[in-house]
Each structure stands twice: as structure tokens, then as C-alpha cells.
């Protein structure tokens, strides 16, 4: 069974106006929350530099998940993602490290999640970066339909992942940083 993410991003949104549009359309809301993540690569950083894959441990409130993410191509459905819940952050980290992966970066972002017509709409805010929107759904056609309802210009969609977005569009050396949190960037 293959797990494909089908997602696009739209950069530099006006968050207040966008939320007003979501509410007007009757989208359901999950209040804003903070995600804290640790990104793991192989010791030689081939995963980061060549293979475009990583393992992530993410903490959202009391929920913890491990994710394997492999960006196979830059298309709308170019990412394989396998994610599952765990209940112990320390043991999860130990497990990943025992597999031979190395904790490379601590990162954090704020996320405000909405649902509209079966599409997940995340408003993400990283440190020092204007808010942007990520749409994730069942097909490109479905995402395009919801994007139109949200007055998002499909010709301006971004299909690259967050690492590329932060590096290419905001000139942040994200892939080289060891800390990218609201408290510490280095």
C-alpha cells in the first residue's frame, strides 16, 4: 500500500482575510496549535542532500507521531509519507537513533487547521516567514476546486516541500540549520 501526499502551497497570504473567507464558506476549524519536530537523516546526510527523505518525530500537544517522508519528485503527488502515532517521545527518538539515523534539526511552527469539502487547509507560520497555506486532499482536481473557492490563484501554487519553500522563496538555509524555532535559530 503506497501512501501519497497530494498537496500544494500558496505563499504570503493575508491570514486575517483568509480566515474570514474560510468562515464565510463554512469551513470547520481546529484552533491554532504549535508543532515541535525533530528531523532525522542518515549520518552522511545523503538523505538530505541526494535522496530528499527524512524521518520526523512530531509533538502536537499530547500527540506524538513518527513520519517517514520521501520527496520523490516536485509534482503535486510527489511525496511518499508514512506516519503513525507513538506514545513516548524519548523511546521514539531512541528507536529512530538505533536504526542509525541522527537527530539533525529541531524545528517548530504554528499551524491553524481547517477542513472544507474534504480538503485539509493548514495555515502554517514558521519563525521569520509570512504565513502560507497548504491544501491537502484526495486529488489535484479536488484541490484545484477548493483553491478556486478560496480565491487562491492556481497558477501560483507551489508543489515543493517546506524545506525548498523556506530556502528558495525566503532565502533561509533551512536544510543546514540545526535549530529553527521561535526561540532559537542557528
* pLDDT tens-digit readout, 113-134: 999 999 999 999 999 999 999 9
Give dist(CA 105, CA 24) in Å, integer: 38
Over residues 70-82, the mean pLDDT reads 92
CA 142, 132, 114: angle at the middle one, nearest 5?
A: 55
Neighbours of 40 (CB within 10 A): 22
Decide if pLDDT at 1 tops 60.
no
DSSP type of residue 150: T
pTM greater than 0.85 (yes/no): yes
Amino acid at each position: 500500500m503506497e501512501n501519497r501526499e497530494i498537496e500544494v502551497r500558496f505563499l504570503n497570504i493575508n491570514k486575517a482575510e483568509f480566515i474570514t473567507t474560510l468562515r464565510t464558506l463554512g469551513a470547520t476549524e481546529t484552533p491554532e496549535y504549535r508543532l515541535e519536530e525533530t528531523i532525522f537523516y542518515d549520518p552522511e546526510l545523503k538523505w538530505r542532500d541526494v535522496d530528499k527523505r527524512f524521518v520526523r518525530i512530531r509533538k502536537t500537544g499530547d500527540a506524538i507521531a513518527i513520519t517517514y517522508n520521501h520527496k520523490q519528485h516536485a509534482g503535486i503527488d510527489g511525496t511518499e509519507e508514512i506516519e503513525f502515532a507513538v506514545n513516548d517521545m524519548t523511546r521514539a527518538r531512541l528507536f529512530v537513533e538505533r536504526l542509525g539515523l541522527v537527530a539533525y534539526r529541531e524545528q517548530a511552527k504554528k499551524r491553524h487547521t481547517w477542513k472544507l469539502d474534504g480538503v485539509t487547509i493548514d495555515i502554517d507560520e514558521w519563525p521569520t516567514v509570512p504565513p502560507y497555506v497548504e491544501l491537502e486532499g484526495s486529488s489535484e482536481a479536488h484541490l484545484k476546486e477548493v483553491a478556486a473557492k478560496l480565491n487562491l490563484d492556481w497558477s501560483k501554487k507551489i508543489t515543493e516541500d517546506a524545506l525548498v519553500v523556506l530556502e528558495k522563496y525566503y532565502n533561509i538555509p533551512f536544510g543546514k540549520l540545526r535549530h529553527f524555532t521561535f526561540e532559537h535559530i542557528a
